[in-house]
A and B are shown apart, each in its own frame.
Chain A
Amino acid sequence: MKRNIFLLCTIVTLASCSVTKYPLKHEAYNKIYEEKPLTIMAMPPINRSTKVEAKELFYSSLTVPLTQKGYYVMPPLLSMEILKEESAYDAELLMDYSMKNVGELFGVDAVLFTIIHDWSKTTLASQVRVNIEYILKSTKSDEILFNRQGNITLNITSSAGGLIGLATSMIATALTKEISVGRNCNIFTLSDIPEGKYGPKFMLDGEEYSGPKEINEVINQNY
């Protein structure tokens, strides 16, 4: 019995051990622990890819992962409308300036810039690839609080047989996979951010290890 308990404990310990390659979160994101931002406004994405629709495809999926990490994200549809009115739709023009005015105007602690470096697909291989950079900038100090890059490839495999099956599947899922890859990139890349005020680990995750600066993932999806 004792031997069994020992064996069980060893397995639990081994399984919970993580590789200690990167700095602790309170070192990697010390400004977040210092400033404790709660409210975030996502700016319209900066699109440097050749895909025209990328901006629209991507913006609506930024809110969910940040709220699940305990932050308050400004309502996206309303924000987009106001940003357009304030001539702030082109976020690239704002990125290098102080965010203090934006903070006061909208009552936000931080602003999230996203740069879509690549959003492309290969029809033959049924792959969609995105490369997106996330920069969270403080409106209090103008410091960069979080800066990570996600490099996500989505592999589509068809569950229907033969060429007809593949073609049908590709048409049916064309839109879904385009949305899916953007969402996955947000989820993977933003998962490293320390938890915000509403998260159960708020100010308690500083001793956890942070992830890499560039996140590379290949996701396989079967339709």
Chain B
Amino acid sequence: MGTCKKITGMIGAYVYGDLSPDEMRYVRLHAEECSKCSHEIEDRIRTIALIPTDTPKLTDEERQRVMWTVKGAIRAKSERRGFSLFRPTFTLTLLLAAAFVGGAMLGYSKIQPKVIVKQVPVENRQPLANPEKSIAANAVPKPASKPISVKHPTDVSVAVQPFVRYPIQEIYRGSIDREAQKQEDPSKSIIGDKPSENTQGDQSADSLGPSIVPVPDPLTITGTPAPVEPQCEKPASSDNN
């Protein structure tokens, strides 16, 4: 009986002929003597014979389909992998670029002079003082090495140092009678200078094209350091003041 149990464990390989020659002979000799094992072997051989061993064959079309599908999947996979590797770098680059642009915009907004144009009501409008004299009185003297040349009395240019805020002061040239204004209240000169008696300057100012001329705030200009002074060009004749 012990031999039958041993044989039973080998029958599966025996029916396929997979045992070694010695094992095959051992099973065959036992089956000749044991009818039960012999019957079992016959049944299993018939069972296996029932089950077809052939598998369907691939057609050329199916073969091509499998190959193309596999290639496409591999390509898509490699592309996804490439994108996923690129993605953190791309995100980091994007963040850095955004930070750089934001910082640049913030810095630009700080260095950009703020231009304030005040709308002065008509009744409060001040007569135009002599712009050349007023500016010259408040401006920091220019170094002697740089001669100032002005082609026209109204040709006023202001060199603005960055980071220094110069509000634009409005100079209004109205149709107010300047002489009458001076007599009423000479101290209303917007620049604080005495009104010039030189009418030529007024006439020159009247001949200016734009009605609003930006000039530096005298108070601000006074407080600025010497090397970064606003440079006012004025006629050479008044430079010696």
- Say whether A associates with B: no
A interface residues with partner B (beta carbon < 8 Å): none
